[in-house]
Structure 1
Amino acid sequence: MKHAFREFARYASLNALGMLGFSCYILADTFFIAQGLGADGLTALNLAIPIYSLVHGCGLMLGMGGATRYSICRGQRDNDGASAAFVSSVYPAVLLAIIFVSAGLFFPTPLASLLGADAQVLTMTATYLRVILLFSPAFLLNDILVCFVRNDGSPRLSMTAMLAGSFSNIILDYVFIFPCQMGIFGAVLATGLAPCISLVVLSFHRKHAGFGLRRCSVTPSLIGRMLALGLPSLVTELSSGIVILVFNFIILGLCGNTGVAAYGVVANLSLVVIALLTGIAQGVQPLLSHAYGRNAQSDIRQLMRYLIVTVLTLSVAIYALFIFCDTPVVAAFNSAQDAALQSIAEDGLRLYFLAIPVAGCNIALSFFFTSIGRALPAHCISLLRGLVLIVPMAFALSALFALTGVWLTFPVTELLVTVCGVVLYWRSMRTTKPVR
């Protein structure tokens, strides 16, 4: 039992730290853009974030789907299947990279307009989109390798790579925006270079060398199964972008650009917190998948108890922090000392972050189903959170309670999804036999 807890603590803490650092890509942009470019820069950044979430989500889908299959195959001692899992992740990544790069070369301005950028922030938004999309191959490959290196027994190197990318982004953000005076282009260039630095660190992986670009049997059905396993990771990440897109549209009508800038502070802090909780759940995935491959149901239950207790404890602590420190937290991103922005963002923090404990449980349940190869319930949880409930809920609650309704959309949706997720979990735990 002590050994199981040590393994849980090692994998969860290392991956959580790495994901926390990885999420600081955008938070660092938020801070330095707020200081250097003010509310317009914050608005442009927040309008562009859904595309970043799409790119990152696609990388996580390929990485988590492939790495989950890789861990299950290793638990079953299927070395050929483990090798095929990695190659099957790389093929779709190449296709997605071509699509994203093409969009960055030819369509950044129409895409910025589609996301809601007006004439005041159109150029900045298009610039951010262009560079993010041109660096998409690095983001995709980095997401894939981070997952496989962690599942190949090197969670520490995976964490180190993510932190190296994050810290380099923070340093380059400052250098490019202030001494070099490169504006929003400098901010996004720093973000784009970060995964390149992370990839350099990952290149030192040698632990088991259980994956690589080798000649092996890759079929469309295998790619399809892996994409199905990884889809909840895409939806979880993309849901943040979809929520931001919908909320931007609603808040623009209620409060204009100032409201969007205030929401940008809340949303980007939320991305960091969600990334931390996702990192914990994602870090436990190799242990759950390996236990599932061995049909060790008692280990699966014990790991899930550790996971839920950890996520709930951390969520409550984070919410308490925002309740007592809301004013200085918002002020750090409000360089112009805009009173309206400050007031809107403080109200948002207090209401929006009510969702964090239940969101953490939903993330844990989604990763549990992914880890044991049960794609359908994982899809249900992810789709309910990201599309099916939250979008209509945002329009309904904002119509009833204006901006307060916007802030309450996230907690109400997550609470409803938790009820569904708990039912699916208890039904699933009655039968958990490995699928070959």
Structure 2
Amino acid sequence: MEHTADLRSFGRYASLNVLGMLGLSCYILADTFFVSCGMGANGLAALNIAIPAYNLLNGLGLMIGVGGATRYTVSCAQCDNISADRAFTHAVGLGLAVGLLFMLIGLAGAAPVSRLLGADADTFPLTSVYLRTLLSFAPFFVMNNVLLAFVRNDGAPGRAMCGMIVGSLSNVVLDYVFIFPCDWGMFGAAFATGLSPIISLLILSGHLRSPVRGFHLCRVRPQGRLLASICASGISSFVGELSSAVVLFLFNFVLLRISGNTGVAAYGIVANLALVAIAIFQGLSTGMQPLVSHSSGLNDHGALRRFYRYGITSSLAIATLLYVLVFVFAAPITAVFNSENNAVLAGYAVTGLRIYFCGFWFAGCNIVSSIFFSASGRSAQGFLLSMLRGVIAIVPFLFLLTAWFGITGVWVAFPATELFTFLFTAVCAAKAFRRTA
């Protein structure tokens, strides 16, 4: 890989990956739309209850893929091809093991997992069907994330983008076909989503035939230290997705007590649109990851500072655009997913969207910073930032603000958590760059 620390390199990698992640986020957004049309508020609530399991699976795939690709890129920058191939081989082996474990959980334990996630008598049948079907495709979800990361880090961000977008577009088409003409209901929604990573993998596999491919499988015994290094380098990506699962679970739990399935369905609209926003920021940060890892391998601190500045500036611009769109179009956006024209649901969702999306001015900076720190060899800082926004701070803010303001406090909890984390992020960034000045 040959990279220069200029805006053109950043723009190419970041923009292609943002487009790809935006397409990838259509996995769940398409399900949200078609499920709401085909199965109403209970279907929407069931889907929202099941999403944390998908977040956990996707987070582990991102951890292995981004972590393995980070180790691969650093090894390539140091001209160590043997270590580069070992990183790829270990990432593939770990990814397959995780995928098979989740597949077994889905086949044997979808019912207890559905109850654990909060499904009640109305939503349990739909939630368990969705989880059992979706997790049957777990190995493909994980391996898609692994191969996406390596293809992108191997100098082919365009192919990675195509894989993500084509897979997501196929999900949209298959969602419609399976839910309506085939009348397969919740099974059809999950089956369509499960086929999408397979289609993406078929596109990505073309890179494996490229004569300039840099990574290869090799014979090597499992090395615990290398596996730990891969996980450490990708832990911020995992915690970022885990935080989405934790937030969904906790918000569903609180809303069920405050406003029942209608509140959960309203949050389903807010949460799924928020997943699209998070995917954009994840795309921005993982898009710049190959450049950051390469610069880190060369100890080019000037390049690292420039890439960080590009990332923060881009995240603020994206957050501003997203908030303007959501604030202006909150009502029509809600109407698209409110097939039963439920006035209570619409009121909850419109207010929720306008408050919740304030948090993305801070969330974008936090996501970019956590991935940047992990990609540049500061895994502990990246992990701490991800844990703070995703697990540590959200719990007290959610329960405290809900006790004070009711359902409005639920919506305010996300911006409050991200603002609190942003202050800590600013301190970490100032210290990190002061040391390398």
Separation of aligned partners in 1, 2:218 and 2:79: 18
**Higher mean displacement: 143-152 or 1-10:** 1-10
> How far did residue 432 of structure 1 move?
5.2
* Partners of 1:80 and 1:216 within 8 A in 2: no
Task: Find 1:300's aligned residue among 298, 304, 311.
Answer: 304
Task: Find 1:260's aligned residue among 261, 264, 281.
Answer: 264
> How far did residue 324 of structure 1 move?
0.8
| TM-score of the superposed pair, with normalisation by structure 1 | 0.97
Match of 1:425 in 2: 429
Matched, 1:166 2:194: no
Amino acid at match of 1:225: S
**Higher mean displacement: 38-47 or 73-82:** 73-82
Separation of aligned partners in 2, 1:203 and 1:240: 30
* Matched residue SS, 1:364: helix
Separation of aligned partners in 1, 2:322 and 2:176: 27
Question: In percent, how many aligned pairs have the same letter?
Answer: 48
Give the gaps of 5 or more residues in structure 2.
none
Match of 1:222 in 2: 226
Matched, 1:388 2:380: no
Matched, 1:250 2:254: yes
Matched, 1:96 2:87: no
> How far did residue 216 of structure 1 move?
3.9
* Partners of 2:5 and 2:306 within 8 A in 1: no
Residues 127-153 of structure 1 deviation map (CA, whole Å, 9 limit, x = unaligned): 011011110000000000000000000
* Matched residue SS, 2:434: coil
Match of 1:118 in 2: 120
Match of 1:374 in 2: 378
Matched, 1:188 2:190: yes
Residues 189-208 of structure 1 deviation map (CA, whole Å, 9 limit, x = unaligned): 00000000000000000263
Separation of aligned partners in 1, 2:159 and 2:365: 27
Residues 44-72 of structure 1 deviation map (CA, whole Å, 9 limit, x = unaligned): 00000000001100000000100011111
> How far did residue 214 of structure 1 move?
1.2
Separation of aligned partners in 1, 2:299 and 2:20: 29
Match of 2:88 in 1: 86
Amino acid at match of 1:361: C
Task: Find 1:404's aligned residue among 403, 408, 418.
Answer: 408
RMSD: 1.4
Match of 2:332 in 1: 328
Match of 1:310 in 2: 314
> How far did residue 12 of structure 1 move?
0.3
Match of 2:45 in 1: 43
Separation of aligned partners in 2, 1:94 and 1:358: 35
Separation of aligned partners in 2, 1:190 and 1:404: 35
* Partners of 1:152 and 1:207 within 8 A in 2: no
Separation of aligned partners in 2, 1:111 and 1:389: 25
Match of 1:34 in 2: 36
Task: Find 2:283's aligned residue among 276, 279, 282.
Answer: 279
* Matched residue SS, 1:165: helix
Match of 2:78 in 1: 76
Matched, 1:231 2:223: no
**Higher mean displacement: 214-223 or 375-384:** 214-223
Separation of aligned partners in 1, 2:344 and 2:398: 22
* Partners of 2:65 and 2:145 within 8 A in 1: yes
* Partners of 1:87 and 1:218 within 8 A in 2: no
Decide whether aligned partners of structure 1 residues 394 and 3 sit closer, same or farther in structure 2, where only a CA change above 3 A counts. Answer: closer
> How far did residue 91 of structure 1 move?
2.1
> How far did residue 3 of structure 1 move?
7.1
Which aligned runs of 4 or more in structure 1 are off by greater than 3 angstroms? 430-433
> How far did residue 94 of structure 1 move?
2.4
Residues 302-338 of structure 1 deviation map (CA, whole Å, 9 limit, x = unaligned): 1111111111011011101111111101101001110
**Higher mean displacement: 211-220 or 171-180:** 211-220
* Partners of 2:5 and 2:307 within 8 A in 1: no
* Partners of 2:75 and 2:81 within 8 A in 1: yes
Task: Find 1:133's aligned residue among 135, 143, 147.
Answer: 135
> How far did residue 98 of structure 1 move?
2.6
